[in-house]
């Protein structure tokens, strides 16, 4: 099989489901198919089978459908533990009230039981499969969000927590992060003893005002944090000091659709900062999108 073709089909099937019918698997449907007292592993198997059916896969008659079900859906799907996420330090210690400022609003969003969602960056395997990392909670789960004009821009949900963890683990010394949101990376990085300071670069004054008023006072290491109102690329080009920046985390895009071009642009600045380590949010997904675009152009040339 053409792995690029299968990657695209699996990705679009999952994307369409997430956009159109993420709650098709319901508690009632799961209860009909699961024996009483079934363990989480059995529940996940049933969920994967239902999901494959809702995606229109027919593993019995199509080799490609069987491959997608067995090599994409099953390894990519996770039954998540809501209690483990609620035990995250940010969830335990930060209180967020509904509040608006300009076009921005702090709000709480909700996952329904068995609602499907992205839980992390793409998984890229040695055989070049691009597996969507998807998951569900078997119970309701609420998470804080920043909305812009009613559209979710930044949320502290499993996908944000998991896809930021590598950068949090790597952060040390004098840290610069581009993009503020709800300050999750800033909060977690500032808790680390080996992080001396966190400079946040954010261009929207309304987001900064909300953060300083509602969130920063709750940070136990708030003295480490400073917020600068500036455009990310202007700051990179003219204001960031190579000798005073040890680590950079770039998180100024919403998803792959608006992230590829700024990601490519940001990478071009790395040569100016040879001693600074750079991390980028959902970098694996962005790189896969770039490779696919280059491969498509090569086929057309």
Quick check: is 297 in a domain?
no
Within-domain flag for 96:
yes
* pLDDT score at 277: 97
* Confidence at residue 97, expressed as pLDDT on a 0 to 100 scale: 77
For residues 152 and 82, the model is more confident at 82
Is the pTM higher than 0.85? The answer reads yes
Cβ-based neighbour number of residue 278 at 10 Å: 18
Give the mean pLDDT of the chain.
93
Last residue of a domain, one of 94, 124, 155: 155
Co-location of 21 and 128 in the same domain: no
Region for 262 from its dihedrals, namely left if φ exceeds 0, alpha if ψ lies in -120 to 50, beta otherwise: alpha
Name which of 284, 289, 300 is nearest 120 in CA terms: 284
Residue whose token pair is 């000798």 = 243
- Both 182 and 256 in one domain: the answer is yes
| Residue whose pair of structure tokens reads 């390894």 in the numeric block | 75
Cα–Cα dist 241/102, whole Å: 32
Mean pLDDT of 208-225: 93
In a domain, 298, yes or no: no
The single-letter DSSP state of residue 216 is G
Residue 177 shares a structural domain with residue 284: yes
Q: What is the DSSP-derived secondary structure letter of residue 71?
A: I
Interval 15-50: pLDDT, tens = 999 999 999 999 999 999 998 788 999 999 999 999
- Tell whether 38 and 119 lie within a shared domain: no
Q: Is residue 49 part of a domain?
A: yes
* 298: confidence class by pLDDT, cuts 50, 70, 90: confident
- pLDDT for res 1: 59
Q: Are residues 248 and 189 in the same domain?
A: yes
In a domain, 284, yes or no: yes
What is the mean predicted confidence (pLDDT) over 37-66? 95
Q: From 78, 106, 135, give the residue that closes a domain.
A: 78
Is residue 103 over pLDDT 80? no
- For the chain, what is the domain count? 3
- Its domain, for residue 266, covers 158-291
Over residues 144-149, the mean pLDDT reads 82
**Residue 16 DSSP SS3:** helix
Residues 270, 74: Cα–Cα separation, whole Å: 37
In a domain, residue 98? The reply is yes
Specify which residues 146 forms β-bridges with.
Answer: 106, 154
Least-confidence region, from 30-34, 67-71, 152-156 = 152-156
pLDDT at 154: 81
* Residue 169: inside a domain: yes
What angle is formed at CA 15 by the lines to CA 22 and CA 255, rounded to 5 degrees?
Answer: 110
Coil, helix or strand at residue 124: strand
Gap between the Cα atoms of 70 and 163, Å rounded: 24
Q: Give residue 301's pLDDT.
A: 67
For the stretch 266-296, pLDDT in tens is 999 999 999 999 999 999 999 999 988 887 7
Share of the chain above pLDDT 90, in %: 79
One domain for residues 172 and 283: yes
What's residue 23's pLDDT?
A: 98
> Final residue of a domain: which of 49, 78, 107?
78
pLDDT at 70 over 80: yes
- Between these two residues, 148 and 53, which has the higher pLDDT value? 53
In sequence order, the 6+-apart residues with CB closer than 8 A to the CB of 123 are 75, 76, 129, 130, 131, 132, 133, 284
Residues 207, 282 within the same domain: yes
Check residue 167 and give its pLDDT: 97
| pLDDT computed for residue 254 by the predictor | 87
For residues 267 and 165, membership in a common domain is answered with: yes
Q: What is the pLDDT of residues 197-209, one digit of tens each?
A: 999 999 989 889 8
- The answer to whether 249 touches 175, Cβ cutoff 8 Å, is yes
**Mean pLDDT along residues 135-147:** 93
Nearest to 164 by CA among 143, 189, 147: 189
Question: Do the domain assignments include residue 300?
Answer: no
Report, as an integer, the average pLDDT of 220-245: 96
Helix 283-300 vs helix 3-20: crossing angle, to nearest 10: 130
For β-strands 173-178 and 225-229, DSSP reports them as unpaired
Summarize the confidence of residues 158-181 as an average pLDDT: 96
Q: Are residues 276 and 173 in the same domain?
A: yes
Same domain, 173 and 246: yes
Q: What is the CATH number of the domain that holds 244?
A: 3.40.50.150
Side-chain half-sphere CA neighbours of 280 within 13 A? 22
Residue 246 dihedral angles phi and psi, to the nearest 5°: -100, -30
Check whether residue 170 and residue 282 sit in a common domain: yes
For residues 41 and 68, membership in a common domain is answered with yes
Q: What's the chain's Rg over C-alpha atoms?
A: 21
C-alpha pair distances (Å), 83 with each of 92, 116, 139, 142, 163: 11, 18, 10, 12, 19
Could you tell me how many residues make up the chain? 301
Q: Mapped to the 3 state alphabet, what secondary structure does 119-173 carry?
A: CCCCEECCCCCEECCEEECCCCEEEEEEEECCEEEEECCHHHHHHHHHHHHHCCE
């Amino acid at each position: 099989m053409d792995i690029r073709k299968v990657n695209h089909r699996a990705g679009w099937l999952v994307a369409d489901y997430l956009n159109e019918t993420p709650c098709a698997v319901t508690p009632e449907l799961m209860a009909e198919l699961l024996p009483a007292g079934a363990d989480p592993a059995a529940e996940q198997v049933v969920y994967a089978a239902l999901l494959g059916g809702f995606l229109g896969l027919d593993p019995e008659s199509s080799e490609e459908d069987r491959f997608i079900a067995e090599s994409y859906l099953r390894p990519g799907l996770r039954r998540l533990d809501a209690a483990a996420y609620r035990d995250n330090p940010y969830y335990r210690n930060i209180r967020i009230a509904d509040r608006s400022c300009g076009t921005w609003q702090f709000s709480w969003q909700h996952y329904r039981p068995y609602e499907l969602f992205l839980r992390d960056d793409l998984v890229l395997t040695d055989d070049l499969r691009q597996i969507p990392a998807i998951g569900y909670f078997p119970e309701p789960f609420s998470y804080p969000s920043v909305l812009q004009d009613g559209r979710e821009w930044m949320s502290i949900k499993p996908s944000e927590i998991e896809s930021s963890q590598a950068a949090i683990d790597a952060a040390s010394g004098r840290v610069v992060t581009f993009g503020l949101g709800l300050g999750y990376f800033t909060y977690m990085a500032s808790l680390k003893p080996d992080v001396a300071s966190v400079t946040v670069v954010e261009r929207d004054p309304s987001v900064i005002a909300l953060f300083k008023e509602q969130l920063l006072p709750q940070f136990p290491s708030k003295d480490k944090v400073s917020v600068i109102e500036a455009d990310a690329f202007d700051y990179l080009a003219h204001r960031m000091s190579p000798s005073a920046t040890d680590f950079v985390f770039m998180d100024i895009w919403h998803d792959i659709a608006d992230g590829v071009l700024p990601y490519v642009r940001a990478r071009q600045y790395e040569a100016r900062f040879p001693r600074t380590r750079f991390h980028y949010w959902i970098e694996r997904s962005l790189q896969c999108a770039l490779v696919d675009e280059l491969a498509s152009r090569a086929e057309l040339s």
